Structure 1
Amino acid sequence: MSVRILALVGSLRAGSHNRQLAETAVKLAPEGADIALHEGLAEIPFYNEDIDVEGSVPAAAAQLREAAAAADALLLFTPEYNGTIPAVLKNAIDWLSRPFGAGAISGKPVVVVGTAYGQYGGVWAQDEARKAVGIAGGKVVEDIKLSIPGSVTRFAETHPADDTEVAAQVTEVVNRLHALLDGEQAAA
């Protein structure tokens, strides 16, 4: 069975190592797993209930919701900004959490991974993202994790897809998520 995975990247920087990790996941996805890297998080206004009105939701937010609703699962890639989750990723989670109890990620499996400059690879940001996703209604997959430390030096000259160890780790993450989704679809 084919599964659809929506990838969101919490960094807007053109040379983002987390974006490169997401590109690696897309490239290494197994047959039967379609990973779509969502573009446009920078265009989504900060969440505000005054503009989250049926029929007039900002286009970028509506597109994000549609993409998430069409996906079987989400794969979030987050750097760590000042010890926590980047605002752009938190904002995406906020938009996906509404309407409360019936948001686009409600009940969907969500895996959070990433890389950061520090020695722990962004663990705090990943934990915060998991917390926010869980409160937003997503089904956090706690046993699939990947934190890659030292991103600035490790990926200074090498794309993550060309780092044998990282490519194997990303492949394992995607394969495990794919297997989980295959199991859920088979049980349905």
Structure 2
Amino acid sequence: MSVRILALVGSLRAGSHNRQLAEAAAKHAPEGIEIELYEGLADVPFYNEDIDVEGSVPAAAARLREAAGQADGFLLFSPEYNGTIPAVLKNAIDWLSRPYGAGALSGKPAAVVGTAFGQFGGVWAQDETRKALGIAGGTVLKDAKLSIPGSVTRFAETHPADDAEVVTGLTQVLEQLTASTGTAAA
């Protein structure tokens, strides 16, 4: 039985280094770990309790919740936008936090990694993402971290999947995340 990890990427940009980081995680995931890179965060409307009504939840939000419900854990990839979490990632967390106390994140392990241009690799945004995940009900792995600085120069000619240090860091995070799911990777 494989462990299913849902990857949510906080950048919608086609050439996003965080998207590439997620691709590297999927490519180099240890045996027994299946990573689904979620597509469609751009289609999820901003969270609004008025439209979060049983039987009429917007289709894009329902698809996100369904994918999250099937996951054993979560790996979020956060760039840093003006020193904090990107709106698209926060919006996904908001949708997955509902219904309150029983959302798709509830009780499931989650880790946050990322890369950014700055010298700290987006740690502020990643810390804010961990905070939001915890409040939303996820079990945040505070020690499962990977912040890669200087993304624009570091990944100018090298895909993260071809960077041995990045692959090692991602593998360590995935192993920690998998160990926390309570599901043994086969």
TM-score normalised per structure 1: 0.95
Task: Show the 5 A alignment for 1:156-167.
Answer: 156-167=156-167
How many angstroms does 1:15 deviate by?
A: 0.4
Aligned partners of 1:26 and 1:49: how far apart in 2?
A: 33
Name the SS for the 1:143 alignment partner: strand
Aligned partners of 2:137 and 2:164: how far apart in 1?
A: 35
Report percent identity of matched pairs: 78
Q: Give the corresponding residue for 1:40.
A: 40
How many angstroms does 1:172 deviate by?
A: 1.7
TM-score normalised per structure 2: 0.96
Q: Give the corresponding residue for 1:86.
A: 86
Aligned partners of 2:138 and 2:63: how far apart in 1?
A: 18
Aligned partners of 2:52 and 2:183: how far apart in 1?
A: 32
- Amino acid in the other structure paired with 2:54: E
Aligned partners of 2:68 and 2:144: how far apart in 1?
A: 20
Q: Give the corresponding residue for 2:122.
A: 122
Q: CA RMSD in A?
A: 0.9
Aligned partners of 1:185 and 1:156: how far apart in 2?
A: 37
Task: Show the 5 A alignment for 1:1-188.
Answer: 1-181=1-181, 184-185=182-183
How many angstroms does 1:170 deviate by?
A: 1.3
Query: What does the per-residue CA deviation read over 1:38-63, in whole Å, with 9 as the maximum and x for residues that have no partner?
Result: 00000000000111011111111000
Aligned partners of 2:123 and 2:156: how far apart in 1?
A: 21
How many angstroms does 1:161 deviate by?
A: 0.6
- Amino acid in the other structure paired with 2:170: V
Aligned partners of 1:185 and 1:154: how far apart in 2?
A: 35
How many corresponding residue pairs?
A: 184
How many angstroms does 1:113 deviate by?
A: 0.4
Query: What does the per-residue CA deviation read over 1:153-183, in whole Å, with 9 as the maximum and x for residues that have no partner?
Result: 10011100111211221122112222333xx
Aligned partners of 1:127 and 1:150: how far apart in 2?
A: 18
Higher RCO (C-alpha 8 Å, min separation 6): 2
- Amino acid in the other structure paired with 1:13: R
Aligned partners of 2:167 and 2:183: how far apart in 1?
A: 27
How many angstroms does 1:137 deviate by?
A: 0.5
Structure 1: gaps of 5 or more residues: none
Aligned partners of 1:23 and 1:137: how far apart in 2?
A: 26
